[in-house]
Structure 1
C-alpha cells in the first residue's frame, strides 16, 4: 500500500464524483498511471530515491534533498557549493554541503535552477490545489471538454489522462525540439499517460508554432502546463491576455512550488518535492528516508484533475495553482507523515 494512500483515496473519491458530472466516472488507479512499478528500473527507497537520481544529505542545520535528474544538474554542483569541479557530484556534495545552512543551499539552488529542497520545508493541511479567479467565467461549452495538454513527465500528463478517460477531447502538444522525455525513457508509461490523446508536434520556438498554440488554447476549455511562468511567457502565453480572450477556461498550472511570488522561480521533480513536503520516513536516530518513487507526482496529478473539474464546475475562469511540493505537503498531513524537520 502506498504511504500516501489516505490522500490518494480522498482525491480519488472527489475525482469519481466530479468526472461523473462531466462524462464518465474515472478510477485513476485502474488506469495504471498512479505508479511506475515494473515500467522502469527502481531500487528500494532509502537515502536514495528509487530511480537513484535524488539523494538525502545532511546540511549544517538539517536534512535536504537534491535531484540530479538532468545532465546539467550535475554541472551546477561546483557553482552551488562554491567548490572546485570534480568528477563525482555526489562526492562533492558529501564533502562540502555539510558546512552550509539549508537556507543558503536552497537560495543557491533557486538562483541556479537546481532542484533542491529542505526536508519538510513546505506545510499544508490538504493536497487540494488553490483556485485563483482570473477570468469572468460562464462561457458556454460544447458536448465534450476540449483540453490542450502542454505538460510533460508525470503529474500534468496524468491530469490529462484522467480528463481523457472521462470523455474529454485531449490534444497533447509537444515541442518538436524538446519532446516529452518520458516518450523515450519509459515508453509504456508514456503510452498509459498519453495514449488516449491526440498528438500534435509544434515548433514552439517559431512564431507560426506559437500562433498555432495560442489558437488551440483560445478554443479550449482546459489548458494543462508544467513549466514555470517565465518559460510560458516566452511562448507568448500571457496570463491576463489569455483569460481576456477566453474568460471561461481553466488553466491547470503544474509547478514545483507554486505559480506566484518567489516560489515560482523554483524547480522541482517528484522526489525532491516529496521530501520538501515531508513525505519521508524518519529513522529512530532522526534520519529521513524516501518512502517511494516520486510520490509527489501521483498526488499532484490527482489534485490537478480535481482542481480542473472543480474549476469547470464553478464556471471556469480560474487558474489551478497545483504544485508538487504543496500537494506532497498536503498528502503528508492527510496521511499522518507530518513531522518537523
Structure 2
C-alpha cells in the first residue's frame, strides 16, 4: 500500500489505517472509501506519530460513515480526512483559550527529573497527586520544584518509581524501548441478547438517540465521548463529588456533553446511577483495572445485568502483566515504554511526542469501536460488546506496528506554491480553530477532525460547567 493521499474510491490509503480498521473489526472493502488531503508536514517526530494520528481519525470517521449509511439506508459516505484538522485536534488542549487565557498543560511538579542513575517522569497536575508525591519522598507539603529536584537527584529512578506507586503517587523511571507488545484493541461479543432498533438519523448525527454513560477522566476517554457527542449521542459524564477535576481540562473535552456528580457509595445517588444505567446503550470507563469493581461496575457485572450493553474500557498499562493495576497517564506511559528514551535529545534528556498522541489516538479508536459495535449489533450479530483499550497498546502500535516514513529526499529545485488542499500545503492551525461562548467564557477550541461526506463541522453545544448538570437523560 502507499502512503500517498488517495481519492475516495481508490485503494486503501495506507497500512496503518487498514490495520486500525481491522482492529475495530471493520469490513476491508470499505477502506476504498478513505482518502486524505491537507498539509503533511505535521506532528514531526522520530516516530510515525502523523501516521498514527490520521489512521485513528480515519478509522473513526469510517465507522461513523458506516453507521450513518445503516441509519439512512444509503451507501457509505466517502471519508476524506484533513491532516491539518487531525494535527490541530491532537493538541486541542494546547489550542484551548478561555477569554484569551491559555491554560498551562503541566504543573511545576510534573516533568522529567534527573535521578542518581538516570531520569524519572512525574505527574502531579492534580493537587492530590502532588501531595502524595511529596509525601512519598518525605517532603513538606509546600516543597517547591527546586527541593523536589534536589531529592530526586539523590535517589535511583526505580526506587522513586516504587515509592511513588506505594503512596498512590505518579512517577515512572524512563526506560529503554520495551519489547512487550500489547494489543491495540480487544473485542468480544457477549451472548446474543437482542438490541433495540434504531430509526433513521441525519447523516451528521449517526449516533442520535444513543445514550452513553461516560466514566472517564483526563484526555483519552473524554476525547472518545466528546467524539460520540459530536455525532449525536446523548453523553452524560459522571464523576465522584470527592474527586476534583481541572476545569480547563473539562473546557477542552466537555464539548457536546453534559456532566454530573454522583457518589456511588450514597444510596440515593446510587439509585440515580442505576436508573441511568438501566436505559444506557454504552458505558465507557477510564479507570485502572479493578478500580470500579467494588461498585459493581466490572465489565462482567455490567453485561450480566444488561446483556445488550456496549462496555468500552480504557487503562494505562495494559490489561495483563505486573503493571496492569497501576495508575498512569500518556506522559508516564511514554516514559515507561521507551518513547521518551527514543525521542531523547543529543544531551540525553528524555523527549516527548509532538502531541499526547497515545491519549488522542486511543480516544478516536474507542469512539470508532463503539460506533462499529452499534452497527454490528444491528446488521451482523446482536449481543453485548466488551471492548478494551490501553495507552500501552497504542504505544506498542506506534513503536512496533507502524512503519516509519522514509527520510525526506533532498530538497528539489524551487517550485510554484502548491494549490490549497494539496499535500504540499503549509500548516496553519488557525484554519481549524473556532470560538464559541460558554459558561466558562469565550472559548477558542480545535474543530473536530472527523471527516466524511455530511459529517458535522462542530459540536452542537459548548461544554457546560463540570458536574453541574442534572443526572437525567435528555
Q: Please give the TM-score of this superposition, normalised by the length of structure 1.
A: 0.79
2:329 pairs with one of 262, 269, 292 = 269
**What is aligned with 2:185?**
129
Q: Tell me, in whole angstroms, the C-alpha distance in 1 between the residues paired with 2:130 and 2:250.
A: 25
Shift of 1:156: 1.0
Q: Tell me, in whole angstroms, the C-alpha distance in 2 between the residues paired with 1:260 and 1:243.
A: 21
| Structure 1 unmatched ranges of 5 or more | 44-48
**What is aligned with 1:65?**
121
Q: Tell me, in whole angstroms, the C-alpha distance in 2 between the residues paired with 1:60 and 1:53.
A: 18
Q: Tell me, in whole angstroms, the C-alpha distance in 2 between the residues paired with 1:31 and 1:218.
A: 38
* Contact 2:182-2:318 within 8 A present in 1 as well: no
**What is aligned with 2:352?**
290
1:249 aligns to 2:309 (yes or no):
yes
Shift of 1:223: 0.6
Residue aligned with 2:95, SS: coil
* Contact 1:210-1:235 within 8 A present in 2 as well: no
1:38 aligns to 2:116 (yes or no):
no
**What is aligned with 1:308?**
370
Q: Please give the TM-score of this superposition, normalised by the length of structure 2.
A: 0.59
1:155 pairs with one of 217, 220, 237 = 220
**What is aligned with 1:239?**
299
1:10 aligns to 2:69 (yes or no):
no
Structure richer in helix, relative to its length: 1
Once the two structures are superposed, what CA deviation does each residue of 1:179-221 show, in whole Å capped at 9, x if it has no partner?
6x24x235642xxx33323444434331222233233234322
1:331 pairs with one of 398, 409, 418 = 398
Q: Tell me, in whole angstroms, the C-alpha distance in 1 between the residues paired with 2:388 and 2:146.
A: 36
Aligned in 2, Cα 1:34/1:214: closer, same or farther, shift over 3 Å?
A: farther
Residue aligned with 2:311, SS: strand
* Contact 1:299-1:328 within 8 A present in 2 as well: no
* Contact 1:109-1:115 within 8 A present in 2 as well: yes
The structure whose Rg is larger is: 2
Shift of 1:268: 1.8
Once the two structures are superposed, what CA deviation does each residue of 1:67-104 show, in whole Å capped at 9, x if it has no partner?
111223333335434x4547435334433334544433
Q: Tell me, in whole angstroms, the C-alpha distance in 2 between the residues paired with 1:327 and 1:62.
A: 25
Aligned in 2, Cα 1:274/1:217: closer, same or farther, shift over 3 Å?
A: farther
* Contact 2:122-2:170 within 8 A present in 1 as well: yes
* Contact 1:54-1:66 within 8 A present in 2 as well: yes
**What is aligned with 1:215?**
275
Residue aligned with 1:163, SS: helix
**What is aligned with 1:46?**
none
Shift of 1:65: 0.7
Aligned in 2, Cα 1:307/1:239: closer, same or farther, shift over 3 Å?
A: same
Alignment of 1:34-113 (within 5 A): 34-35=90-91, 36-39=93-96, 41=102, 52=108, 54-81=110-137, 83=138, 85=140, 87-113=142-168
Residue aligned with 2:94, SS: coil
* Contact 1:146-1:170 within 8 A present in 2 as well: yes
